[in-house]
Structure formats: C-alpha cells, structure tokens
C-alpha cells in the first residue's frame, strides 16, 4: 500500500514526464512540417533537434515562392492537421480521465500556436517584424496582406475549436472539472509539502548540473548584420583552439536572395567544414584539434560570378541544381544591396 507521500511523488513525476513528452511531441510535428516541405522541394535535412531548443536545418531545397511560403507555414499547419485527424477519432465515452486531458491539452496547445499568426501580422503594420520568426519569414516571402493572414489564422483557430466542441471534448473536460470540484480533497500535510518542494528542487538542480556539465568554453563567437553590395564578398575571422575535442557549433544565417558559402579552414589550409545556403538555423558538432583556424563567409549575388566561383572551388553541381540556384539569386538581383544577419558560436 503506497503512502500519501509516495503517491504525491509519483503524481509529480508523472506530470513532469507527460509535460516533457508533450513538448517533444509538438516540436516533432512542428519541425517535421518544415522538414517535410524541405524534402518535397529537394532539400536535405542537416539537423533535426526536438525539445525546448527545437529546430531543423534544411539545405539544398529549390524553393519556389509558394514552396518557401509553405515551408515557413508548415510548422503550424502539420500539428493542426494532425489535431484535426485526432479529433475525428476522439471518443468522449472513454472512462480514462487522462485520455480526455491529453486531448484537451494538445488541442489547446496546437490551437494556441495560431495566435502568433493572428497577432504578428497585425503588429507588422505598426512596427518592425521579429527577426527569424516563421510568421515574419512567411510575410516577407509570400507578399500577402498581413490582415488577410491574420484572418485566415483566426478562422483556422475557430475551426479547430469548433471541431473540438462538436466532438464534445470541452464539455467532457468541463464535466470532469465540475466533478472534481465537488470532491473533498485532503490538504497536503507539512511532510508531503516538503517532499513536493524537494522533488522540484532536485529536478531543477539535475537539469542545471546536466547543462553545466555539457557547457564548453567558447572558442569562437560572432554576431553581425551588414548590407552586401558586391557580387562577391568575403568576410574572414580567425580563432584558436587549445584542446583536441568535439565542439558544439550553432549558426544562424538570414541572407535571402543570396548564396553564402560558410567555410572553416585549419592552419594548414585544410577545409574542416563547408556549407552553402541562403538562410538557416543550424546546430552541429565539429571535431577540432588544437591550432589556429579561419572562419570564412563568402557572399555571392551574381549568377555568372557564382558559376566561376564554383569552378575555382571545385564544387560539383548538376545543371538542374545550378538553374535552381540562379533562380534564387534572381529574387533580389535588381536591389542595391542585400541585408545579412549572421551569428555563430563554437563551444
């Protein structure tokens, strides 16, 4: 027979476990939506991370304007589609309370994710858009009226709520809450209260220690914004590594309408990392030996210059891939400059 304290610990641990599982489930659907569209347009998945720092890195995709817009919106659309399908199979007659609460939490979580798509387009009419946000990217790429986007997002929220109501989900939750309010619960005694507090403290401490254990000293860090006027421009930065080990590398790039060749060379001129992209958020691991390194960014705006650059570097692209990259460069070819935002940390 379990004591009241043991039951409290089990319930607390179960609640935390369910919370983390739901976070990972939602981020799986959100980032999976981005990844799915990227694959459809010929891209490859370089990194797929779930959890509180969820993100996906896709490179090599030949997006059209519609495709890139869909890529930015897929993170909210795939969870909504999955919720709509799940609600079709919802049965309010199931006796398990956990079953109904899980449905309700997922419904609220996914429906609520549309709030940003309602609010940010309206906010964009009065101030600068948040950098790097899916909604901001969608607005910039699609060219649609912000109020139209807000209206569509609101209608999708309304439809999801309507389906949930029609299936009786929210009325079932209301019934359960009403039943619980009529039950007389015994207050936690001092011992049980202390145990609950200790469980949360120990859990938080474990997360802190885990993060501190994994935390490495930064060997390289940069963050800048600039306007690129030239057809070809290099930015070079040097850094040193004291210890042979595998380092974590985080990079964010926003240079729409232009190719950026990201390279890292050791002190012997050997290339230890290279990637060509337009924009991305990328987390990876990089094995480095002690020594001096050079971080090089090459920005390319001109299709002819791009072809010559690829030939000099020995990069092999098919004609179809080159045609796709030329279309990418044509998006902002007539603009005087292209704004660039880049940040990188190696630690």
Structure confidence by residue, pLDDT tens digits, 96-155: 888 888 888 888 888 888 988 998 888 888 876 655 578 888 888 888 899 999 999 999
Pick the residue with more confidence: 128 or 48? 48
Burial of 296 (0-12, 13-18, 19+ CB in 10 A): middle
> What would the mean pLDDT of 51-62 be, rounded to a whole number?
72
What angle separates helix 65-88 from helix 134-142, to the nearest 10 degrees?
A: 130
Lowest-confidence range among 217-226, 252-261, 262-271, 313-322?
Answer: 217-226
Structure confidence by residue, pLDDT tens digits, 219-238: 888 877 788 889 999 999 99
Instruction: List the beta bridge partners of residue 59.
Output: 44
H helices then E strands: how many in the chain?
Answer: 10, 10
CA 30/CA 339 separation, integer angstroms: 28
Q: Which residues are within 8 A (CB) of 284 and not within 5 positions of it... i.e. 6 or more apart?
A: 46, 47, 57, 248, 249
φ/ψ of 24, rounded to 5, equals -70, -35
> What would the mean pLDDT of 25-50 be, rounded to a whole number?
84
276 pLDDT exceeds 50? yes
CA 47/CA 45 separation, integer angstroms: 6
- CB 318, CB 298: distance < 8 Å: no
Q: What pLDDT, on the 0 to 100 scale, is given for residue 94?
A: 83
Domains in the chain (CATH in brackets) are 4-207 (no CATH), 220-346 (2.60.120.380)
Lowest-confidence range among 10-19, 69-78, 316-325?
Answer: 10-19
- Record the tokens describing residue 226, joined without a space: 């600039």
Model pTM score: 0.56
13 pLDDT exceeds 60? yes
Give whole-number Cα distances, 261 to 2, 59, 217, 229, 307, in Å: 61, 12, 26, 16, 13
Give whole-number Cα distances, 61 to 8, 36, 67, in Å: 50, 11, 9
Q: Taking all residues of the chain, what is their mean pLDDT, rounded to a whole number?
A: 81
Among 156, 97, 139, 140, smallest CA distance to 331 is for: 140
> What would the mean pLDDT of 29-55 be, rounded to a whole number?
81
> What would the mean pLDDT of 84-97 be, rounded to a whole number?
88
Among 81, 77, 75, smallest CA distance to 58 is for: 75
Q: What pLDDT, on the 0 to 100 scale, is given for residue 208?
A: 46
């Amino acid at each position: 027979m379990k004591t009241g304290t043991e039951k409290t610990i089990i319930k607390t641990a179960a609640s935390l476990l369910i919370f983390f599982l739901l976070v990972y489930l939602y981020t799986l659907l959100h980032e999976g939506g981005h990844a799915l569209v990227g694959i459809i347009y010929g891209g490859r998945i370089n990194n797929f991370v779930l959890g509180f720092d969820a993100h996906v890195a896709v490179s090599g995709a030949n997006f059209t304007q519609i495709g890139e817009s869909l890529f930015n919106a897929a993170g909210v659309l795939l969870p909504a589609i999955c919720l709509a399908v799940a609600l079709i199979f919802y049965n309010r007659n199931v006796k398990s309370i956990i079953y109904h609460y899980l449905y309700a939490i997922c419904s609220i979580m996914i429906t609520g994710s549309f709030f940003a798509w309602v609010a940010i387009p309206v906010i964009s009419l009065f101030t600068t858009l948040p950098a790097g946000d899916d909604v901001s990217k969608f607005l910039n790429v699609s060219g649609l009226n912000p109020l139209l986007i807000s209206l569509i997002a609101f209608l999708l929220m309304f439809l999801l709520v309507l389906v949930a109501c029609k299936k009786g989900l929210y009325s079932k939750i209301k019934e359960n809450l009403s039943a619980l309010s009529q039950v007389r619960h015994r207050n936690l005694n001092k011992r049980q209260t202390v145990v609950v507090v200790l469980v949360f403290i120990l859990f938080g401490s474990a997360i802190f220690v885990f993060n501190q254990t994994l935390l490495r000293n930064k060997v390289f860090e940069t963050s800048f914004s600039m306007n690129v006027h030239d057809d070809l421009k290099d930015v070079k930065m040097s850094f040193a590594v004291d210890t042979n080990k595998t380092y974590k590398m985080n990079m964010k790039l926003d240079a729409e309408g232009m190719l950026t060749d990201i390279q890292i060379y050791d002190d012997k001129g050997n290339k230890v990392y290279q990637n060509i992209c337009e924009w991305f958020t990328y987390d990876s691991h990089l094995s480095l030996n002690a020594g001096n390194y050079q971080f090089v960014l090459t920005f390319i705006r001109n299709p002819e210059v791009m072809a010559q650059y690829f030939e000099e570097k020995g990069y092999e692209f098919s004609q179809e891939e080159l045609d796709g990259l030329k279309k990418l460069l044509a998006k902002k070819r007539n603009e005087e400059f292209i704004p660039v935002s880049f940040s990188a940390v190696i630690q």
